[in-house]
Structure 1
Amino acid sequence: MEFLLIGTVGVCVLAVLHTYVLYPWRTTLQARQSSLPRQPELPITDWPTVRILMAVHNEERVLGQKLATLAAQDYRGPLHLMVADDQSTDRTPQLLRTFEFTGPRRQFTHTRNTRRSGKPATINRLAGAAGAEGIFVLTDASVLLRPDTITELVRPLVADPGLGVVDSRVVHTGMTVDGIGRSEDRYINQEVHLKQAESHDTGYFIGPFGGCWAIRAAAYTAVPDNFLVDDFFLCMSAYRAGWRGYSSDRAVVLEGVGQRLPHEFRRKVRIGSGNWQNLLRFQDLWWPPTQNALAYAFFCHKVLRWLTPLFVCLAVLCLLLLWQAGGNYWAGLLLKTAGGIALSTIVLDLVLGRLGLHVGLLRNLHYFMAMNAALLVGFVRYLTGIKTNVWQPSYRPPNDSAQ
């Protein structure tokens, strides 16, 4: 029994190290040696029709600037902006009514849901109205585009008929020394680089940045009711249908980084619940992980990461049994040391933060523990049942610029 408990702890530790350290290192190394092209360079003369699909709810703080960046797009093909207001109660409807999206081959339509529907259902309705031709760009109100963002999202899709989805590269703005902004930015940057490495190495990236990305209309699958993470569902559905993915380093977007831990915690709880919906829905794409490159990437990048809170809980339980039931001195020492480090990290970060002192290592560790705790809460929420996917906009500080 003692051998089994020690082996279980070892497996848990190895799983966490693999998803956060070994897999990113291996994938990045292989991408550098990959023969796959990093960016199509073919000249394009016939640009396809693009429909920008956006659901909004109480976005008056950011919507004006967002619409301005859409109006400034340099895309040379037909461009149709389709916005649906999900029962906003602020100035969002007024901003949409007064917005002008003028220019050759440009159209703008905005509608209002008759009842609160949530983002996935709203985007499903917009996609159904848009039809099955051309390319969809799905974007959030809080994410600002550079003038060439849509052009760079579409370019790989035109150059490679086998691509079904293209992701953008997010650049965070509004970071300050206080709050968790720098920790969030560091994590997202690592994710962006890993997804780029995945697409260069295997022809897939595991889940798009939901704030702005492109999908062929022919690859779009309606998101089921009550699904929380719609962008991941759409991407994996496209892969299941035979399409591939590309993470572009040229399609750049800007977003104010989240600074407040309580707000990001609630957002991660929601994402954590949605992760389990997708994990079970797409089990055939990741199990067994040895079946192909997509399954291995899905399993190592997402499945092991989503399971990390459970691995930690299982390892703690095994150490507790070894210590209390088996009298293992080293298990007790390890458990007390790890617990002391975790508690000290949280307390020190909070106390020093109140004093205006911000230590990067402490903040990063505190952020890591808080986000995994949010994933654990999200798992519990999933087990108790998800009754609605209606959302509230996440807090983001104002963006400085869209240039």
Structure 2
Amino acid sequence: MYLVVFMICAFIVFYTYLGYGMLIYFLARWFPYKSITIPELNAQEFPAVTLFIAAYNEAEIIEEKMANSLALDYPTNRLKIFWVIDGSTDASEEILRKYTNVKVLYSPERRGKTAAINHGMAHVEDPIVVFTDANCMLNKEALKRIVKQFEDPTIGCVSGEKRIAFQQDDTVSSKGESAYWKYESFLKEKDFVYYSGVGAAGELFAIRTVYFEEMPENTLLDDFMLSMRIAQKGLRIAYTPDAYAVERGSSNMEEESKRKQRIAAGGWQSIGRLLPLLNFFVYGKLSFQYVSHRVLRWSIAPIALIVLLPISWLLAGEHGRSLINVFTVILYMQMAFYLCAVVGYLSRNQTQVSKVFFIPYYFVFMNANVLMGIWYLINSTGGVWEKSKRK
């Protein structure tokens, strides 16, 4: 019995965190989706675009965000900049009123980002809307790279790349998040080459406006739900790494934990709301990618990770005391990994921490927050949450 449990848990853990990455790399290389060749667009061909920014108390960053938005390389007569201010109590609205080329929609009551998106989308008329966060800076070519993808009629959503800026004197919160997103970006790229991206990151993504559907206001992962609802219609999510958003990492691990718990809770919530996507007979490749890339990571894998350690210890005791016993070796490998994680935890507020320590710590930290996300979801009262402080 122990052996069966061990085999199941070991497979889930390996496949979720490493195996799927290896498999999707192979599938993307040898069985890529036959996409059409998209030529470069000329100035007359660029579609009208709305750059949509939902914000709450972002007065500190608005001028920098506006400078970044106005510097984007896109025809000015084809671009609208649209801010939806969700119950801000700072000077956000007053600052934005200084810009004559910006549309501002103000809501006096704070109802959360999803409510702000629902409210704002009722005022969007352009065929393409690009969502970005106030604290993220986009590369100059981002919009051109995004709209080019929509020349393919199979594309309903385009996801840019999220990049975490960190300096050598940053702590584990920034460096761990950066390492995580590098691997996540690799998976996103291969997912798209094989068939479709699996969700979009709210820092930078775009949709065909016609496919927008209003979401329940208590939705925690608006970006993921919005993009996956479009994929559920049979359209693909394009991943475009040469359109990217840069933001700073969380100021410390306590702040990063707030964000991770909300995302984890949103993951559990999304699984419940996207149950039809678990049907491989209907959604085929998309179901395979969704379960492999998201569902396992958000649900079963963290539990399997916890079970694996005591099961390995029991099997190591059952099958002899030899140090070369396979279960003993696996047990010692886990113990060494968690020991490195402990060192990473003890060094979490230091600036000089080896990857040998901060990557295991961040991995354990993420999985712990997936389980804590269940409690967050149970106690969630809606789509409003406390923002994590960033550097």
TM-score normalised by the chain length of structure 2: 0.88
CA contact (8 A) 1:39 1:156 kept: no
Paired letter, 1:41: P
- Establish whether residue 65 from structure 1 lines up as the match of residue 64 from structure 2: yes
The CA deviation at 1:349 is 2.6
- What is the match of residue 126 of structure 1? 120
* Superposition misfits of 4+ residues, deviation over 6 angstroms: 320-324, 326-336
CA 353–296 in structure 1, closer or farther in 2 if over 3 Å, else same: closer
Task: Name the CA shift for 1:149/1:373 in 2 (closer, same or farther; >3 Å).
Answer: same
Q: Distance in 2 between matches of 1:275 and 1:322?
A: 33
Report the counterpart of residue 34 of structure 2 in structure 1: 36
- Which residue matches 1:16? 13
Asked if 1 retains the 8 angstrom alpha-carbon contact of 2:163 and 2:181, the reply is: no
- Would the alpha carbon gap of residues 328 and 278 (structure 1) be closer, same or farther in structure 2, given more than 3 Å must change? farther
1:299 maps to what in 2?
A: 291
- Cα shift at 1:346: 3.9
Quick check: 1:175 aligned with 2:174?
Answer: no
In 2, distance between residues paired with 1:370 and 1:284?
30
Match of 1:401 in 2: none
Name the amino acid aligned to 2:214: A
Is the CA contact (8 Å cut-off) linking 2:342 and 2:361 kept in structure 1? no
Match of 1:269 among 256, 261, 276: 261
How far apart in 2 are the matches of 1:74 and 1:160? 21
Aligned to 1:224: 216
Residue 381 of structure 1 deviates from its aligned partner by 2.7
Give the match for residue 311 of structure 1: 304
Matched AA of 1:379: I
Distance change in 2, residues 1:259/1:345 (3 Å): farther
Q: What does 1:249-398 correspond to in 2, within 5 Å?
A: 249-288=241-280, 292-307=284-299, 308-316=301-309, 318=311, 337=332, 340-341=335-336, 344-352=339-347, 357-382=352-377, 384-397=378-391
Aligned length: 383
> SS of 1:279's equivalent?
helix
User: Retained in 2: the 8 A contact 1:142–1:396?
Assistant: no
With 83-92 and 328-337 compared, the bigger mean Cα shift is at 328-337
Distance 1:331 1:227, change over 3 A: farther
Give % identity.
25
Instruction: Describe the shift of the 1:386–1:320 C-alpha distance in structure 2 as closer, same or farther (beyond 3 A).
Output: farther
Unpaired stretches in structure 2, ≥5 consecutive residues: none
The equivalent residue for 1:104 is none
Contact 1:136 1:216 in 2 (8 A): yes
Consecutive unaligned residues in structure 1, runs of 5 or more: 102-107, 398-403
Question: Per-residue deviation at 1:385?
Answer: 4.5
Amino acid at match of 2:148: R
- Asked if the contact 2:61/2:134 (under 8 Å) is kept, the reply is yes
Q: Which amino acid aligns with 2:115?
A: A
Cα distance, 1:29 vs. partner?
Answer: 2.7
| 8 Å Cα contact 2:36-2:152 kept in structure 1 | no
Paired with 2:120 and 2:198, the residues of 1 have a C-alpha distance of 25
The one-character-per-residue Cα deviations of 1:142-167 (angstroms, maximum 9, x if unpaired) are: 1111222112111111x212210001
Q: CA RMSD in A?
A: 2.8
What secondary structure sits across from 1:374 in the alignment? helix
CA contact (8 A) 2:212 2:226 kept: yes
Is the 2:54–2:84 Cα contact (8 Å) retained in structure 1? yes
Distance 1:73 1:271, change over 3 A: same
Question: Could you tell me how far apart the structure 1 residues matched to 2:95 and 2:23 are?
Answer: 47
Report the Cα distance in structure 1 between the residues aligned to 2:29 and 2:342, rounded to whole angstroms: 41
> Partners in 2 of 1:295 and 1:347 — Cα distance?
36
TM-score by length of 1: 0.86
Larger mean Cα displacement after TM superposition, 346-355 or 41-50? 346-355
In structure 2, the CA distance between the partners of 1:42 and 1:148, relative to structure 1 (3 Å rule), is: closer
Does the aligned pair in 2 maintain the 1:290–1:296 contact within 8 Å? no
Residues 309-335 of structure 1: CA deviation (Å, up to 9, x unaligned): 1222343565677799x8997899689
Q: Deviations 1:58-104 (Å, cap 9, x if unpaired)? A: 11232211111111122225222221111222232232122343xxx
Determine if contact 1:54/1:138 at 8 Å carries over to the other structure.
yes
1:206-227 alpha-carbon deviations (Å, 9 max, x no partner): 1112101100101111111211
2:2 alignment counterpart? 5
C-alpha deviation, 1:109, in angstroms: 1.3
The 5 Å alignment of 1:131-210 reads: 131=125, 133-157=126-150, 159-180=151-172, 181-202=174-195, 204-210=196-202
Offset of residue 43 of structure 1: 3.3
Cα deviation, 1:222-258, whole Å, max 9, x if unaligned, reads 1112110000000111011222111012212222233
Deviations 1:41-65 (A, max 9, x none): 3434322221122111111232211
Structure-to-structure mapping, 1:240-255, within 5 angstroms: 240-255=232-247
Kindly indicate whether the alpha-carbon contact (under 8 Å) linking 1:58 and 1:393 is maintained by their aligned counterparts in 2. no
